[in-house]
Amino acid sequence: MEDFSIGLLDQLVDKKAEAIVILIPSIDSRNNISVGGWYGVEQALFQKEYKIPIYFTYDDDQVKKMYRDGFEQLGDRHQLVVSTYEPTLVKDVTAVNIQVTLLGKTDLNQQTEDEDIKINPSIVVVTNYDSYNIAPIYGESNNGASTAANVVSILELSRLFSKLYSSSKTQTKYNLIFLIHAGNSLNYAGSKHWINNADIRLLESAQFVLSIDSIINTLNSKEDKLYFHISKSPKQENIPLTKFYESFNLTSKQLNVPFQFVHKKINILPNGEESSIVDWEHELFAIKKLISATISAYSYPIYDSASEGNISFSRSHLFDDLRNVNKDILFRNIKFIAESIAKYIYDFSGDNSSTKNLEIFSGSLEVNKQFIESWMQTLTSTNRVLFSDKLTSSNQLSNLLNGLSKTLIGYSNEVSNQTFKIDEYVDFKYFNGLKQSMSVYRVKPTTFDLFLLLAVIGYLAVLYIFVKGPSDTISQIKKLFQKSSKAKKKN
């Protein structure tokens, strides 16, 4: 892998290579790989179609022996054989969204039957759980750490606020809705499904939608800055957005978190319509007239709506593992989001508020580091690719989602799942067969086969002479030449 580049790949293709095998170094020996550099290569592989198969395998001891020792032995040749079935089209790829609801305090004088959501304003926090990279090999541990961190942030936020909402003294009027969805790397398919199928009363009551794009930067673990992306500039008349921005800004100063506000308008096509590919997830909600923002460890989006068809598959990459997670930044950023939301719902962000510097999540409400680390291990050791072979990773993913739901039920009033088909929201074809078996055979050169053939012929000739005798053998040879001579005369 350290020698691989797109330029080298193009050269090998031009030389009519039949296939490419890339050796992935083990986790402990990846120091020679530039994570940022490989991410660029991986994105380039997504964007270009190659007519030859590209395989990935681990550079373990067995492969090292074959590659570094076996291929250097003169006189021997090697043949790589892939023993597998033909990849088949996977139809009806399904995914699941998990919605968690923490109900706020309702004024009994205004409450009507089954209208809690309609009366109470709601804060919606969304993120995705699925992960993908260029070679989602089964058995790969520490995979998809960036999206795992997003899920863990929702789990911890649910746990923290459930403690506050368990007492009427600290319960606010706000409903808190947490959504863990799928298909973020497929043009936000999960978010689209939730928006299209959410209760209209919930959408009408949504005062603010916060999308967690990435809570940590696994391309550069030393990068600790967070960006607050919005499509509308906060103004005095836009009270919820202004108040939410002030809450985050105040918390960033209080916790000393580098924080930057980024304003970008929604991309508009020449005909006046919004682009079908949005740069940031919050833009989907903004199109529906919902006040929304995206918090991210990156200043640039997953997608580039200005470039037609430029869809990258996620922020995940082959080295998106726990080794590239700065745990201190992860703990800090989860607390940062929790404190910012709390300042908003408890109205602690005003200049005249005597509580604006109050730190809510400390002491018994402190962020649970052990809980976060445990779930990070669980999530990163589970293959979360939606369209993997159903007999393997889909069962793992299903068990993981069940585990998430059971955990979240303990922290909320309601947990509901939404199952939907990915291809209803994005036009992609999915094939199984991500895992292949490759065997390496040592074979002799063609000259060896030629000498072996001559030796066999000589052996058979000697054996024939020994059995038939020399005189009989000579007479048989004369007959052959006589037949050949007669055939020529007839012609």
pLDDT one-digit tens code per residue, 135-185: 766 445 557 899 999 999 999 999 999 999 999 899 999 999 999 999 887
CA 274 to each of CA 266, 278, 306: distance values in angstroms, whole numbers, following the listed order: 7, 8, 11
Q: Which of 141-155, 187-201, 280-294, 466-480 has the weakest average pLDDT? A: 466-480
Which helix H or strand E contains 441, and what residues bound it?
Answer: strand 438-443
End-to-end CA distance of the chain: 65
Q: Select from 311, 152, 325, 340 the least CA-distant residue to 243.
A: 340
Predicted TM-score of the model (pTM): 0.83
Report the alpha-carbon distance of residue 371 to residue 139 in Å, rounded.
24
Give the pLDDT confidence of 337-393 residue by residue, as tens digits: 999 999 999 887 665 556 667 888 988 899 999 999 999 999 988 888 876 544 344
Q: What are the chain's domains?
A: 6-75 (no CATH), 89-431 (3.40.630), 449-490 (no CATH)
What token pair was written down for 200?
Answer: 């209209």
What token pair was written down for 7?
Answer: 């330029």
Report the alpha-carbon distance of residue 317 to residue 327 in Å, rounded.
19
Residue bearing the bigger pLDDT, 326 or 184: 326
Residue 425 contacts residue 192 (beta carbons within 8 Å): yes
Give the pLDDT mean for 321-333.
91
Give the pLDDT confidence of 194-215 residue by residue, as tens digits: 999 988 888 888 999 999 999 9
Q: DSSP string of 306-375? A: TSTT-----S--TT-SGGG--HHHHHHHHHHHHHHHHHHHTT--STT-TTTT---S-GGGS--HHHHHHH
Question: Judging by DSSP bridges, how do beta strands 292-296 and 226-230 pair with one another?
Answer: antiparallel
Residue bearing the bigger pLDDT, 24 or 435: 24
Give the pLDDT mean for 242-256.
89
Question: What pLDDT band is residue 273 in, cutting at 50, 70 and 90?
Answer: low
Give the pLDDT confidence of 31-62 residue by residue, as tens digits: 667 777 788 888 888 878 888 888 888 887 88
Question: What pLDDT band is residue 483 in, cutting at 50, 70 and 90?
Answer: low
CA 393 to each of CA 182, 323, 398: distance values in angstroms, whole numbers, following the listed order: 15, 23, 8
**Residue written as token pair 């992960």:** 131
Amino acid identity for residue 471 in this structure: S
> Which residues are paired to 441 by β-bridges?
79
